[in-house]
């Protein structure tokens, strides 16, 4: 029987992940394994995602020239050696991802500079897209839940999202913390629906000139006060969004929604189909839940700017 041999080369790496690996080489472990993503976690509790080539760049991720990870035969708990040159997995003769020479990926801020009435119009276009293409089961629901437990989760999600919007509308800081706390970890999966909703609204709030910027330190406070309420992957995703960082596809969509140049309704709808479609495909309901948070943020931008 031949010894297992697999190797890959990084195509791109997030700038912050690259800096971390340079400053903190060491031993970690595999956190979770999927068809297109392997999440590894360092001894300092930093999560880094290794993604197959067709996926987009994202915070704390490395895109690798592989189609999938099945041939690597990785399992949660496997030891990993992390360095700026490579990520090497134990247990095989040559399971290694070469990082040196990979292109650095950077995020860029997208200023909120929309004119009178535009946040509401962009929100309306996004709502229309979600009405047709949004996935039910997380923040969005239609019909009766399959189980009593699912019904309870749906009720808590609806209550938490509404409470957050009300708290932001009323500029009530303690209520924002309470609502964010109620949403953390709410829902199944590695990135629960409540966290995804927070990610969407936080990403918009993190952009320059957003009227929502004051809420992100409060969402961060809720996360700091109860990090155990959610998963390591969800914590990393939300912390990135609080700083305006997200996967490239989501940033491309946000750039369309925040483009201050005049755009007609038909062109805006086409752009949303092009850029929001892939976002909806994230996870089972995660993409829809993130977009639902983004939608709530745009509606609040409209209100708080006095456009309504």
> Do the bridges between strand 103-105 and strand 5-14 make them parallel or antiparallel, or are there none, so unpaired?
parallel
Q: Which residues are CB-neighbours of 184 under 8 A, at least 6 positions away? A: 192, 194, 195, 198, 222, 223, 226, 229, 230
Position 3 scores a pLDDT of 42
Q: Which of 94, 10, 105 is nearest to 50 (CA)?
A: 10
Give tens-digit pLDDT for 77-87. 999 999 999 99
Position 146 scores a pLDDT of 67
Using left for φ > 0, alpha for ψ between -120 and 50, and beta otherwise, residue 182 falls in alpha
Position 92 scores a pLDDT of 59
Per-residue pLDDT averaged across 229-251, rounded?
A: 95
Position 7 scores a pLDDT of 81
Per-residue pLDDT averaged across 115-143, rounded?
A: 92
220 vs 242: CA distance, rounded Å = 7
Position 141 scores a pLDDT of 82
Position 2 scores a pLDDT of 39
97 vs 101: CA distance, rounded Å = 12
Give tens-digit pLDDT for 67-107. 999 989 999 999 999 999 999 998 755 789 999 999 999 99
Please say if the pLDDT value at position 230 is more than 90: yes
Q: Per the structure block, which two tokens stand in for 137?
A: 């089961």
Write out the chain in H/E/C secondary structure.
CCCCEEEEEEEEEEHHHHHHHHHCCEEEEEEEECCCEEEEEECCCCEEEEECCCCCCCCCEEEECCCCCHHHCCCCCCEEEECCCEEEECCCCEEEEECCCCEEECCCCCCCCCCCCHHHHHHHHHHHHHHHHCCCCCCCCCCCCCCHHHHHHHHHHHHHHHHHHHHHHCCCHHHHHHHHHHHCCCCCCCCCHHHHHHHHHHHHHCCCCCCCCCHHHHHHHHHHHCHHHCCHHHHHHHHHHHCCCCCHHHHHHHHHHCCCCCCCHHHHHHHHHHHHHHHHCCCCCHHHHHHHHHHHHHHHHHHHCCCC
Per-residue pLDDT averaged across 232-261, rounded?
A: 96
Report the share of the chain in percent with pLDDT over 70.
95
Neighbours of 117 (CB within 10 A): 12
Give tens-digit pLDDT for 9-49. 999 999 999 999 999 999 999 999 999 999 999 998 899 99
């Amino acid at each position: 029987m031949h010894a297992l041999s697999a190797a890959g080369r990084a195509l791109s790496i997030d700038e912050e992940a690259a800096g971390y690996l340079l400053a903190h080489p060491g031993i970690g472990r595999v956190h979770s394994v999927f068809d297109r993503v392997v999440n590894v976690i360092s001894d300092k509790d930093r999560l880094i995602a290794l993604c197959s080539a067709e996926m987009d760049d994202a915070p704390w991720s490395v895109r690798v020239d592989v189609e999938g990870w099945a041939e690597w035969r990785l399992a949660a708990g496997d030891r990993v050696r992390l360095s700026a040159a490579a990520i090497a997995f134990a247990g095989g003769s040559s399971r290694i991802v070469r990082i040196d020479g990979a292109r650095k990926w950077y995020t860029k801020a997208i200023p909120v500079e929309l004119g009178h009435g535009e946040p509401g119009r962009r929100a309306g276009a996004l709502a229309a897209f979600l009405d047709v293409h949004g996935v039910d089961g997380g923040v969005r629901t239609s019909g009766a839940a399959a189980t009593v437990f699912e019904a309870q989760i749906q009720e808590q999600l609806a209550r938490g999202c509404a409470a957050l919007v009300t708290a932001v509308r009323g500029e009530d800081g303690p209520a924002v913390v309470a609502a964010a706390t109620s949403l953390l970890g709410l829902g199944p999966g590695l990135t629960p629906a409540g966290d995804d909703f927070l990610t969407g609204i936080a990403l918009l709030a993190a952009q320059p000139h957003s009227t929502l910027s004051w809420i992100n330190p409060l969402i961060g406070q809720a996360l700091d006060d109860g990090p155990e309420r959610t998963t390591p992957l969800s914590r990393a995703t939300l912390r990135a969004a609080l700083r305006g960082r997200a996967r490239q596809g989501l940033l491309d969509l946000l750039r369309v929604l925040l483009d201050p140049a005049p755009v007609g309704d038909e062109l805006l709808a086409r752009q949303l189909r092009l850029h929001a479609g892939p976002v909806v495909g994230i996870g089972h309901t995660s993409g829809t839940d993130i977009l639902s948070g983004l939608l709530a943020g745009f509606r609040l931008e409209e209100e708080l700017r006095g456009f309504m």
